[in-house]
């Protein structure tokens, strides 16, 4: 079950990244956001803003410090969702 949730979250992250970057994006939980996606800190913050709207929750920027991969981001979102 957890796997399925994470999968859906990863798909939403891809969609948010496409919106912000304006190009098709392929990613997996192992994708390193800065290195593999060449996403700078500003683009990442904008992706976070898209995801906040998608999931209707707050993702505080300070929580992003430990996020390196798409999987990290998906787990953070799933954690925030179960809390909300």
Partner 1 sequence: MGLLQKHLGQLEAYSGIRRAGADPFQVAFDAVLSPTEGLINGKRVILLGTNNYLGLTFDQESVEASVEAVRRWGTGTTGSRIANGSYGAHTQLEQSLASFYGRKHAMVFTTGYQANLGVLSALVGRGDHLILDADSHASIYDGARLGHAEVIRFRHNDPEDLYKRLRRLEGQPGDRLIVVEGIYSMMGDVAPLREMVEVKKETGAYLLVDEAHSMGVLGEKGRGLAEAAGVEEDVDFIVGTFSKSLGAIGGFCVSDADDFDILRVVSRPYMFTASLPPAVVASTLKSLEKVEADGALRAQLMANAERLHAGLNALGFTTGPKASPIVAVVMPDLPTALSMWNGLLAGGVYLNLALPPATPNNRPLLRSSVSAAHTPEQIDEVLAIFEWVGREFGVLPSLDQRAAG
Q: Which is nearer to partner 1, 8 or 61 (CB)?
A: 61
- When asked if residue 68 is in the footprint of partner 1 (CB under 8 A), the reply is no
- When asked if residue 62 is in the footprint of partner 1 (CB under 8 A), the reply is yes
Question: Which contacts of 6-14 are long-range, i.e. CB under 8 A and separated by 24 or more positions?
Answer: 6/71, 6/74, 6/75, 6/78, 9/74, 9/77, 9/78, 10/70, 10/71, 10/74, 12/51, 12/54, 12/55, 13/47, 13/51, 13/70, 13/73, 13/74, 13/77
Q: Rule CB under 8 A: which of 4-43 touch partner 1?
A: 40-43
Q: Which is nearer to partner 1, 1 or 38 (CB)?
A: 38
Binding site for partner 1 (CB under 8 A): 40-43, 45-46, 48-49, 52-53, 56-63
């Amino acid at each position: 079950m957890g796997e399925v949730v994470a999968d859906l979250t990863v798909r939403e992250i891809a969609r948010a990244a496409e919106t912000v970057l304006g190009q098709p994006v392929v990613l997996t939980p192992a994708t390193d956001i800065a290195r593999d996606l060449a996403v700078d800190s500003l683009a990442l913050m904008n992706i976070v803003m898209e995801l906040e709207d998608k999931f209707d929750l707050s993702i505080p920027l300070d929580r992003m410090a430990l996020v390196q991969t798409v999987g990290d981001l998906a787990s953070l979102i799933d954690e925030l969702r179960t809390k909300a």
